[in-house]
A and B are shown apart, each in its own frame.
Chain A
């Protein structure tokens, strides 16, 4: 499995990029002990003119490099935690729906569809606006709009696995239904869930950036989306203020997508697009 993953150049590039982003997020407080909000130089310092501030400064004279590093913390945190919460909602719901079928399935799926009929981003905006923008509410809002696809995926996987003969064998062994679901069926649905989760982290980072861009981010947390949003009025005179956070978002999302595809090819070798003429 690991071998197949490692032989995928795209996936390895993704891993390297992601590790770099994570490393920057972790060492941000050591690199910039003053934090991202501190004014350090004159405003609109053009990048690559002063060695201490290679990426220049923003409208208030804050260090763009420090902002980027701290922004990585927020983006990764929001991406990971909201995906985790979405999995916590989607996996049990989908598993129960797929395994028990009948009324449980009907109920769970109608509930899921209710969320799917509302445009993701609109719902996220409404939720954040209602709860006051802070990290917790942003994470929750993103999780609430992104769990339905998880529930559908898990349901479909569980439905196909539960028809396999080893599930019958477990039934004959006298195992209870919940136990069969947890010990026999769910472990066999892990690989598509992992793949989906890696892609969801990327989507969550984009969502958070979009929210911050609209000014619905946590006012106390520096994030890439906030940086772009704040810079949009000066985009013609100070290009670097929106350019660098934009590049940061692209690199992180690309890395996660590369990893997701690599995982997909490694975990489902028969679906791999490679090796076909």
Chain B
């Protein structure tokens, strides 16, 4: 029996949006006890569909046509009071960012109990009992303590578990999960996915799982719907869609996924572009009359080299110190000890003024394409400020900037425009051109493709690969995604809690990992089994 049937749903966007309909003529059905994955890139309308069901559409966005039948009634035109009764009790939702979805000033136990209170169920003491039970069910450690904890005292994965406990409180028949694992580390993601699978089996509820990651789809989906620009382009049983995609777009998306397929190894050269020796960075927080200083060893005695023309991947989960290492290497952060040797100078030991003159040797490509360009400066300015400061004549710098914009695939006329006129992927290309404009000895790419959709990600990776050949670039490529690292890098270094755990060629790391932690990371990659199969096939 279908739990939810969505029938020819269309959702209209306000005037002036990039297209008239956010969702166009979408139909789907979710069976009891099944997981339906809705896959698509950003702007495909997948979240809008879910928000429409919950009555959470933003102002100006309206349901134009179609219905969504749940429990024999069309949930889209219920009056607000009935919708409210339905939310939480029959249909529950979990969100991408558990920190912002939880009330920071309320204890976890109270937040769960509030779900009961909102629907007038049970007495306060029963509510507490139920909350404890739920916390136990979602596998949070030490329930008695968790129930009294505030959200900030929990880790990201624990918060997402608490969110799931809240969603499950009234035993909903349908759980809508909107990118619930996107903000989490791979190992935590694997645990949450397993939890959702377990709960589905135990409770027999239907799950609508929204994601952009085909790896996740491979892990949990029974049925798959692929959406693009508001339309369904492909639907079917998970194995069919993944194994034998019919639509061009699905195939492109699947091809764009970094697979475990390893590129041919290249022989690294012996000339080092970057040598890091015994680097340490300790963050101290707190400390008062009666409180001891809290020390976090963000980077703890790390040594590594990047050879000229080599791409070294630096992989680790959040908090592993990989970004601090990158920022220390360009000396945006001053280390507490150790050396950063670039072309014979120790960047870590220079004075501010000397450093300013040596800055051009190491450049960085940043994670957030929206924050890394000054919104009030034309692209030309962003690309020429550095070279001109370095002493390149203005005309030459501008000519070079135009040339670089051509090289990264944007065209010279992009120079006179402002950042807001470009998409995320295009901005990242500008970021790369800006780094290249300085003729650096080394580029540090800090999660440079993490914020991009898979198909755009693939294009930017292609560009980086192309540039690596063309300019003989040395890159320190920082990422949390082992699949991405495998595509581009010659060697991979794995970091955990500020320490370097393992370093080796891509082949060694993937096929013969020496350390437990590396093995854990590899096993947690979503869809690992599936992508290796397809790589072998």
Contact = CB atoms under 8 A, between A and B. Distances in A.
B374 A173 contact: no
B367 interface: yes
Nearest to A173: B386
A265 to B, nearest CB: 15
Given A174-B359, A174-B360, A188-B376, A275 B60 contact: yes
A172 interface: yes
B46 interface: no
Contact of B389 (A173, A184, A188): A173
B359 A165 contact: no
B356 interface: yes
A189 B431 CA distance: 23
Nearest to A163: B371
B324 interface: no
A137 to B, nearest CB: 37
B377 A173 contact: no
Interface string A159-188: 000001110111111111000000110011
A179 to B, nearest CB: 8
A273 interface: no
Given A175-B385, A277-B59, A169 B375 contact: no
A172 B60 contact: no
- Give chain B's interface residue range (CB within 8 Å of chain A): 20 to 34
B368 A165 contact: yes
A174 B390 contact: yes
B366 A165 contact: yes
A169 B434 contact: yes
B389 A174 contact: yes
B377 A176 contact: no
A128 B409 CA distance: 63
A236 interface: no
Interface in B423-446: 431, 434, 438
A205 B373 CA distance: 40
A110 interface: no
Contact of B377 (A171, A184, A275, A277): A184
B395 interface: no
Q: Which of B60, B330, B374 has the most CB of A within 10 A?
A: B374
Contacts of B385: 170, 173, 175, 183
A270 interface: no
A168 B364 contact: yes
Interface in A183-205: 183-184, 187-188, 190
A169 B438 CA distance: 11
Contact of A184 (B60, B362, B363, B374): B374
A172 B364 contact: yes
Given A172-B332, A173-B389, A175-B389, A166 B359 contact: no
B269 interface: no
B406 to A, nearest CB: 21
A172 B367 contact: no
Nearest to A169: B372
Contacts of B356: 174, 176
A168 B435 CA distance: 12
B284 interface: no
Contacts of A183: 377, 385
Q: Which of A166, A168, A190 has the most CB of B within 10 A?
A: A166
A176 B357 CA distance: 10
A169 B363 CA distance: 8
Contacts of A188: 374-376
Contacts of B374: 166, 170, 184, 187-188
Contacts of B371: 164-166
B368 A172 contact: no
A171 B362 CA distance: 11
Contacts of B368: 165
Interface in B353-399: 356-357, 359-360, 362-364, 366-368, 371-377, 382, 385-386, 389-390
Given A166-B382, A168-B372, 17 more contacts: A166-B373, A166-B374, A169-B366, A169-B431, A170-B374, A170-B385, A172-B362, A172-B438, A173-B434, A173-B438, A175-B385, A176-B356, A183-B385, A184-B377, A187-B376, A187-B377, A277-B59
13 contacts: A166-B371, A166-B382, A169-B364, A171-B332, A172-B363, A172-B438, A173-B359, A173-B385, A175-B385, A175-B389, A187-B374, A188-B375, A188-B376
Interface of B: 59-60, 330, 332, 356-357, 359-360, 362-364, 366-368, 371-377, 382, 385-386, 389-390, 431, 434, 438
Q: What 8 pairs across the A-B complex have the smallest Cβ distances?
A: A173-B386, A165-B372, A174-B359, A187-B376, A165-B366, A166-B374, A165-B371, A174-B389
Interface of A: 164-166, 168-176, 183-184, 187-188, 190, 275-277
